Structure 1
Amino acid sequence: MQNQKGEPMNTKHFQTFAIVGVLSFAIAGCATKAGTSQAENQPTMTNTTAGGIQKAMITIDGGKYTPNVVTVERGKPVELTFTGGPELGCGGTVVFKSLNQSKEVESGKSVTFAFTPDKAGEIPFTCGMDMYDGKVVVK
């Protein structure tokens, strides 16, 4: 390796430069949490069936939930169906810590969480490694 003046570059300096570059990219990647783009944060309303059940479909793929915000009404049953896409990663485990529920989902398959929210607020959900995130907004 040579520097800009055509002189040989010290191997130690090159290694330091390479390490700093790699760390910069790693830090930048970790700073952007998966599943939080502006468009995906637009709340999605649930569809209500004749039986009064609020239903929503969520896809897990490519490091995110789509949609990752679902709005429901308090006091009415909710069914959230998560479907695994081809690039699940750690999203294969869906966790609702506040509900004490977690389920495994496979690519091309679906799992459903059923619950009735009794108070307004937010119910977060994550992947098994807490990298993907989303929430149910209860009104």
Structure 2
Amino acid sequence: MADSNDLVPLGTDPNEPLKAGLRYGLIGLGVLLAVGLVLWGSVSGTKGLWGVLIGAGVGGGFILTTVVLIWFSARRPVSQGFAIVMIGWFAKLLIVMAVMVVISRMSFYDKNALVFSLIGAIVLVLGGEVLGVMRTQVPYVDDVGDGERSN
């Protein structure tokens, strides 16, 4: 559990956890890109750089798009929000499969760098999102005015 000093201040925006999750997820993706580009660029040259960029783009984009879809659908009726998230998830799955099929026949990237950055993006972005959501304080209920209280 996070120490109370590590928590983001209490806010009134119900989307604040999503914003924090997106922010921390992007930070995790940035760290992965920096480390991956240096590591795989020195090991495999340009092929390693392309592998890291593709893997981080596909993995990070897949996970971060979910946050954006949930944020977009948050103020909609439940059935619309559910449809937006599920259709978006299915579309993301088709896009990832299409990208992987297309690039599987190509040789301009390092496959090990792609796998490393794809798995790393999923772990770091999800971890960053969880950390961002867990550290954000949002009230569960609104304050009730004095005239509205019932005994």
Q: Same fold (TM over 0.5)?
A: no
Higher helix fraction: Structure 1 or Structure 2? 2
Higher strand fraction: Structure 1 or Structure 2? 1
Q: For the pair shown, which has the larger CA radius of gyration, 1 or 2?
A: 1
TM-score, structure 1 length as denominator? 0.25
TM-score, structure 2 length as denominator? 0.24
**Structure with more contact order per residue of length (Cα contacts < 8 Å, sep ≥ 6):** 2
